[in-house]
Amino acid sequence: MSIATATTAATPPTALQATPPRTLNYAQAAALALEEAMRDDPSVVALGEDLGRGGVFGQYRDSAGLPLARRFGGERIIDTPISEAAIVGAAVGMALAGLRPVVELRVIDFALCAIDELVNQAAKNRFMFGGQGRVPLVARMPIGLWGCSAAQHSQSLEAWFTHIPGLTVVAPSTPQDNYALLHAALNSRDPVVYLEHKELWGLRGEVALAGAHTDAAELGKAAVRREGSDLTVVTWSRTVHEALAAAETASDAGIDVEVIDLRTLWPWDRDAVFASARKTGRVLVAHEAVQVSGFGAEIAASVAEHTEARVARLGAPRIPVGYGVLESEARVERDRIGQAIARLAERPRGVD
């Protein structure tokens, strides 16, 4: 079964109307969620570069391919100058004034120009002023490798944002989740760092439409994408698909792999991960980000502290992403995941 049509979608059956699912790609699913939110709530606005033409990846175009700006106008779909600090700073002010801004930063690499606004302003305002101000801001920051885009357009920096108190961090892996979790992020009253993968925009799948958007998805809930009994792979975003492919190959060697898609990195679903770790006794955390100080280390340490499972990590080497053929050195894909699964499976459970 394709992950895009898996039954572990983010939207619970109780939240759905009888409307048949729609087949959408990852970008269209997010655009539909934003279109519905803007239709239902006039306080939702979007701002960033290239939004007027529909976004760099088409994530601001409706199902007919037309830019959302044609429907909502330039006062709600706002094209901005090339200044990430100004974009996020304006959005923080909008949020404090009662709007629900969606910030488009094109790629996460460019978010580094707005770190002060995100870390020192958006994340901390609620705590510094005793809850008098809230910042219901969604910052869309596409992560990950993007073919032949080299070192300044291919980073996965999710660990930077999970480290910051006050930020929720979301990383959808399917069209269904990109629809449902964006609705959930838009319904949050606190800032959300929303991480879509640059190489998933064209991924197609069935998307079940939510009837009551407030119940469409719950942040902090993982999905078991594949059940297994011998070993658990914990991952997120595009690496979910690579892990599933590696798990199928491992099954040919007699290794039954369970694959957990975290979907939300903060808060992350500790109960789901610990339950799987206790069941299988072996946990591999795999991610596309650099392994050194990556978020996988937090998961691995927590599993080691709370279960008896053996733990291993797999991430990218600590190198800038190269161009062309050099790019493959930074990719964490099915073959490398499969090799890590095989190594961990060889180690007896409960034996040092």
Residues marked active site are found at 153
Please report the DSSP string for 196-235 in residue order: -BTT-TT-EEEEPPBSSGGGS--TT--EEEE--SSEEEEE
Distances (CA, A) of 116 to 48, 172, 251: 17, 25, 47
Backbone angles phi, psi at 175, to 5 degrees: -55, -40
Q: Are 181 and 218 in contact (CB under 8 A)?
A: no
3-state class of 342 per DSSP?
A: helix
Residue with tokens 């590696």: 246
The H-assigned helical ranges of the chain are 26-40, 69-72, 84-96, 115, 125-128, 158-162, 175-186, 239-252, 270-280, 295-306, 334-346
The CA-CA-CA angle for residues 227, 301, 221, to 5°, reads 45
Is beta strand 282-290 parallel, antiparallel or unpaired with respect to 44-48? Answer: unpaired
